[in-house]
Amino acid sequence: MHSPSPSRFRHAALIGKFQALGIRPVLEDVAHLLTRAGVDVSLEHDTAQNTGMTDYPALSLKEIGQHCDVAVVLGGDGTMLAIARELAQYNIPLIGINQGRLGFITDIQHKEMATALPLILAGQYEEEKRALLEGAVLRPRRDGGMDTIYEGYAINEVVVSRGATAGMVELRAEIDGQFVANYRADGLIIASPTGSTAYAMSAGGPIMHPGLGGWVLVPIASHTLSNRPIVVSDTGTITIEIVAGRDASMNFDMQSLASLLHGDRVTVRRSAHRVRFLHPKGWNYYATLRRKLRWNEGVA
């Protein structure tokens, strides 16, 4: 077997779920693989600090965005989502090595990384670009204007939901100023195609191929049975207004804002940035669905 051609990348960032037991030896193995491929290696600052690895420079996420041209992320999909939100603005491709169960986006297993990683670094990969949600929370002022009290990004979903001890919320949904529906429910999920296999799927939403240009709106435990999930274009701005309900909250992936008030508006649109994932050659989305959702069970 021929050795891989020289790396297409110059400087790799190595980022790990540093809370995971036994992560340091795996990080060291990956760092050695990268070095042997001719790539300079830097550790993300928190990863270096919490694992005690001092053989490589430590960079903040901002510095990674400025100086690195690829990032290797060890962990699960949650770790990847958190890093991808931060690095999307720098257009850096991400390689995911899964620690534990197969992930939807961290799809290289530990046992496969010694083979897969050098090949990807040599240019033998499938590149995939995923849409990013950009959102804000607006609060009305007494003079009729609106203050922006929160801004953020999400890869999976934006969720507006009832308070922990409260009953249902009532939400008004508009798209580009056109009224869509009032939802009396436990909440409403606005999910990207990437997020369609996360919370939205458990609430009864459809699975969307990541290449689709759309979002899905999924009510959570709607009190009106005719409030069904709806797929809409991602070219418009979705606005969700809090009409009724105490202590409503909002989540951008895992980032939370509690105690929304009546009249607050959550706006969601497609970000100008996209997330870039590099997968092993031959990767395809449907194979990931089959493995992750166990669609192969019962097939001879």
Tell me the one-letter amino acid at 202.
S
Calpha distance 215→50 (Å, rounded): 37
Calpha distance 241→170 (Å, rounded): 9
Instruction: Pull the structure tokens for residue 93.
Output: 């491709």
The tokens 């992320």 sit on which residue?
A: 73
Out of 29, 55, 69, 77, pick the active-site residue.
77
Question: Could you give the angle at which helices 113-121 and 23-36 cross, rounded to 10 degrees?
Answer: 40
Calpha distance 105→79 (Å, rounded): 10
Pairing of strands 230-233, 265-280: unpaired
77 tagged catalytic: yes
Which residues is 42 bridged to in the sheet? 13
Which residue numbers are catalytic? 77
